Amino acid sequence: MNALTRTIVVDLLRVFLVALFGLTSVIMMVFIVQDMLRESLTPLTALQLIPYAIPGALIFAIPGTVLFAVCTVYGRMAADNEIVAVKALGISPWLVIRPAVILAMALSFVTVYLTDVAVPWGRAGMYRIVLHSVHHTIYGALRTQRSYTKGPISIRVDDVADQSLVRPVIEVEGRLRLISATAQLDCDPTGNRLILVAQNGELETEDAKFRFPTEFRETIALEQLIKKSDAQSSAAVIPSRELPREIQVQELRIRQLREELETSLSYQGQRGYDWVRTPEQLTAELDQAIYRLRKLQIEGVRRWVGGFSCLCFAIVGAAVAIRFRFSDSWSIFLFCFIPILIVYYPILAVVSDAVRGGRLPAISLWASNLVTLGIGLLLLRSVLKN
């Protein structure tokens, strides 16, 4: 590695690492604050989310940070006429741009790896912490507000004495209403259950109403009390090595739903048929299953497309920075990022929607990268020639 290449690499890494730390911290805090507000988490619980929020924040931060670092370094070099000096010495400008391309290529693979391995781990960890904090969240809300409502459960109390709820009024999914002298909420983390234990009260269900002088127990799944109940089934949290198996399972489910729907339609209008689910319900389930299958089928391609946006952004940033010679890093960054925001992300959004709708094959997701890369290479060719 010659002195010029070494200097460029050091400058790129210095700007990249400083900007990455700042941008990742901001994005990570946004994720954590969103979870705090959505799930009513305590500050102590929110702090436990930090290690698990880092991978997801890096996925968003790395492409933008690569663009910023390339714009900053090459914009300064062009403004100081260092590119002109390199050409005057008979050195190809490609040798100046090559370190940025190699760095962006390496970071593209890193981003793909994070999306495939670290992000599922991080989302599962955040989900687990939120899940097991529900017990403390409920008690915190009851101590301060005397009421708590989330998912299927609604609780109002006169007071909270340590872990005892005083004169609670508890409604669960509209199927039971309980009023008791005291009650406690116990968490079973291994079974992901919240256990309600009430003493000396009155219970009202859809069919009956009676008093219980001793003890009454009701179990509620913790997943029902948070808004992230799909965290274990979303395509984004499934590692690539498990996607083929998930696709097979989903295809089998679709075949079963279609068979059940055909059977249901064949008996439609006949008396005495025991409807487990109506044809309308089966059709809705089938549509949802097909939509999820398409998301699973494109997930692998989506991860590679997102990762290699780093390379596309780096080439565009280097070409534009050298061509227009902005000395101010923020000016050249915005000058590059706004066209990318107008071109890259709208194409990605439109194509993704068409692929999920089954109108285009999954490989079409590369369109946004190819268009951006093509623009960058055209600009780069102009820079290298002139």
Q: What is the pLDDT of residues 84-121, one digit of tens each?
A: 787 777 777 788 888 999 999 999 999 999 988 888 88
The CA–CA distances, whole Å, from 257 to 8, 218, 372 equal 58, 33, 41
Give the whole-angstrom CA distance, residue 377 versus residue 373: 6
Residue 68's pLDDT band (cuts 50, 70, 90):
very high
Task: Give the range among 14-23, 85-94, 152-161 with minimum mean pLDDT.
Answer: 85-94
pLDDT in tens, 326-363: 767 777 777 778 878 888 889 998 998 888 888 888 89
In total, how many domains does the chain have?
Answer: 2
186 and 126 co-located in one domain: no
Look up the domain containing 331 and give its range.
Answer: 3-132+308-385
114 and 176 co-located in one domain: no
* Angle, CA 367 vertex, CA 362 and CA 372 arms, to 5°: 150
149 and 207 co-located in one domain: yes
123 and 148 co-located in one domain: no
Task: Provide the mean pLDDT of the chain.
Answer: 83
More confident residue, 331 or 29: 29
φ, ψ of residue 189 in degrees (nearest 5): -60, -35
Residue 270 domain flag: no
**Residue that is last in its domain, among 208, 225, 242:** 225
pLDDT of residue 358: 80
pTM over 0.75: yes
124 and 164 co-located in one domain: no
pLDDT in tens, 238-262: 888 888 898 899 889 899 888 888 8
Give the whole-angstrom CA distance, residue 253 versus residue 259: 10
25 and 98 co-located in one domain: yes
More confident residue, 82 or 20: 20
119 and 148 co-located in one domain: no
pLDDT of residue 109: 95
Amino acid residing at 372: T
80 and 191 co-located in one domain: no
9 and 77 co-located in one domain: yes
**Tokens 């880092």 -> residue:** 54
The CA–CA distances, whole Å, from 327 to 66, 78, 81, 101, 347 equal 18, 8, 11, 21, 30
